[in-house]
Structure 1
């Protein structure tokens, strides 16, 4: 319900920037960023980025897709993923959520190895936690380079918030950024959502972004972190 003093603003969609220059690197991301930047000089033909939702896997996958010319695949029994892997680099995102056929993924990895291409897989879980029944596939996954991506730390979240706000020509005091970071869900996706809602609500009410507005947005999301 809209308050009488509020007006619905025109909604302009702000697409998240996924280029290499838009990537902010913290200690927890250094290993993953280094492996993406080192393409095509990878330590193995298959690289797996494993980390929680909002850790930056999609951003890094987007950068690698752009740099390598990779094609998105999903290894299924009736698909052509192995054939695509023979022609060039391939990307399989959210392996643990999308699911895959054991034989199909095994053939994709073999195709990558035989043809000198490359495969990047993203997942919330480490590959040893995937429901793999084919022993040969499990062996191939053990030989892959797996890089762990942790949750973004407070410093990175603050940098992301400042950048997202600047993208919308919004200036916010550093203390307010710290207030938001201390209470928001620890993910890059949450940062995007918080900024979108702050911008929309501030426009609707014709006011600047302040602590009261930030508290309202954080409470509405219902996933704030505990603070002392």
Structure 2
């Protein structure tokens, strides 16, 4: 009978909060926030967000998407044939341009920025100069775009993110537990989300608030 409480815990979906009011700002992402905030006063109609996986690029791109009603596409899906249809939206987000296969398609899309007053936000995990781009014209075009980098989250930001993620689930966690987790977890937003999800699940199983042993078990389960 000892495992009965776990059988009563249902995995309910938890929607990630992705609005502008949910994006926490620190020194690590302030430049990227400023870039998005200054739209539509970009010098040209395109810009690049650069940052490692889990740094918050997708969240910030979502903020811009809500402001512009942009459509969202992955760079790997770009082709010369589908660029006109993609451009017809007027505002477009192209994620992960390091994965682009049809480089001529991305170059064509950027040409349409001036021709059709298109608005384009690009995201990537590498600076334009470090991207595996073999098309010289595209390489030059990308390097000329306004750019902001997002660094891995610092302690202040990760602490605030953890507190907020717990609060979103109506959980209050003592500061010393947050400090315990901070020095042990992976340094990314996605890691924070995974940890809070796992800690919440374990607290529900035990029908208990999140304690240090629960936090430690959640970290161990995630391999931290």
- What range describes the TM-score normalised by the shorter chain of this pair? over 0.9
CA-based RMSD of the aligned residues comes to 1.7
**Matched residue, 2:129:** 128
Any idea what SS the aligned residue of 1:44 has? coil
Task: Find out whether 1:72 has 2:72 as its counterpart.
Answer: yes
Q: Does 1:204 align with 2:208?
A: no
What is the distance in 1 between the residues matched to 2:170 and 2:70? Answer: 34
Q: Deviations along 1:49-96, whole A, 9 cap, x unmatched? A: 111111100000111111011112346335322443255111101121
Q: How does 1:109-128 map to 2 (within 5 A)?
A: 109-128=110-129
Deviates more, 1:77-86 or 1:62-71: 77-86
SS of equivalent to 1:207 = coil
Give the match for residue 98 of structure 2.
96
**Structure 1: runs of 5+ lacking an equivalent:** none
- Distance apart, 1:195 and its partner CA: 0.6
Match of 1:81 among 44, 68, 83: 83
- Note if 1:4 corresponds to 2:16: no
- The answer on whether the counterparts of 1:82 and 1:107 sit within 8 Å (CA) in structure 2 is no
3-state SS of 1:7 partner: helix
Helix, strand or coil for the counterpart of 1:15?
Answer: coil
For these two proteins, the number of residue pairs brought into alignment is 221
Aligned partner of residue 107 in structure 1, secondary structure: helix
Contact 1:86 1:112 in 2 (8 A): no
Aligned to 1:160: 161
Judged with a 3 Å threshold, the aligned counterparts in structure 2 of structure 1 residues 7 and 84 are, in CA distance, closer, same or farther, namely closer
Paired with 1:39 and 1:15, the residues of 2 have a C-alpha distance of 27
* Distance apart, 1:100 and its partner CA: 3.1
Give structure 2 stretches of 5+ with no counterpart: none
TM-score by length of 2: 0.92
Deviations, residues 80-137 of structure 1 (Å, cap 9, x unaligned): 224432551111011213x231111111000012222211111111122222111111
| Structure 1 contact 5–205 (Cα < 8 Å) conserved | no
Please report how far the alpha carbon of residue 146 of structure 1 lies from its aligned counterpart in structure 2 after TM superposition.
1.7
Asked whether the equivalents of residues 71 and 89 of structure 2 are also in contact (C-alpha less than 8 Å), the reply is: no
Q: Which portions of structure 1, spanning 4 or more consecutive aligned residues, are displaced by more than 6 angstroms?
A: none
Q: Deviations over 1:168-225 (max 9, x none)?
A: 1111101111111111110000111101101111111222211111111111111x3x
* Distance change >3 Å, CA 5–CA 207, structure 1 → 2: farther
